[in-house]
Structure 1
Amino acid sequence: MRQTVIDIEGVLLDEGITVTFAELRQLCGSSAQALEELVDEGVLHPRGGAPEQWRFSGCEVGRARRLLRLQRDLELNLAGAVLALELVEQIEGLRARLRLLERGVDR
């Protein structure tokens, strides 16, 4: 009988945490160039003037990881991945609003 072992790795980030550009690269498993493109396109909004001074919030780490995963898994170019990310975020926002409305009706 053959057993299959699956390693699951995750990073739990607090929304209040900030990370450096180097830490973001490590957390995303991405190149500096790919992440700089996300900043250039306005997907990420770091604090600080230059890449070595940039600081990213925990939310932005999650956003970058999600976008890069969409790009990789769906084989999308950057523009397509940004659009997909925006649509996913919109859907999540609408679902959250719907849950709030449903709670109000249930009372």
Structure 2
Amino acid sequence: MMQRNESLSGVLLDETALTLDQLAYACNVEPEWVVRHVEAGVLGDGTVQVTDWRFRSGDLARARRLLHLERDFDANEELAALVLDLADEIRRLRARLHALGLEP
């Protein structure tokens, strides 16, 4: 008998969308965790209806980074979201510098 792996990993194609339950399962969290982060505007596209929520590979990666910050650094949801937003902005700015040939 095969044991259930606690962590699901892999690469999602951009065309593939996850439901609320699938995202929660992929992150090994309860669906309520995902709902709280969507309602806070940290995950998803801001769709109001739970039944319409579909999550892309970027949402999965962001959810896993949020979870990492919350669990490993004991950060509350707001602080984890702020740190993640700042890290994403730094990544975007570095990419722009790279595109302009102005890498530090």
Long gaps (5+) in structure 1: 1-7
- The number of aligned residues is 97
Secondary structure, aligned partner of 2:32: helix
Please identify which structure carries the higher helix content.
1
Which has the greater radius of gyration? Answer: 1
RMSD: 2.3
Tell me, yes or no, if structure 1 residue 96 matches structure 2 residue 95.
Answer: yes
Long gaps (5+) in structure 2: 1-6
Counterpart AA for 1:51: V
What is the TM-score of this pair, normalised by structure 2? 0.79
8 Å contact from structure 1 (residues 47, 55) kept in 2: no
- % identical equivalent positions: 33
By how many angstroms is 1:48 displaced? 6.0
What is the TM-score of this pair, normalised by structure 1? 0.77
Show structure 1 runs of 4+ deviating over 6 A.
none
Please identify which structure carries the higher strand content.
1
Secondary structure, aligned partner of 2:18: strand
Say which is worse superposed, 11-20 or 76-85, in terms of deviation.
Answer: 11-20
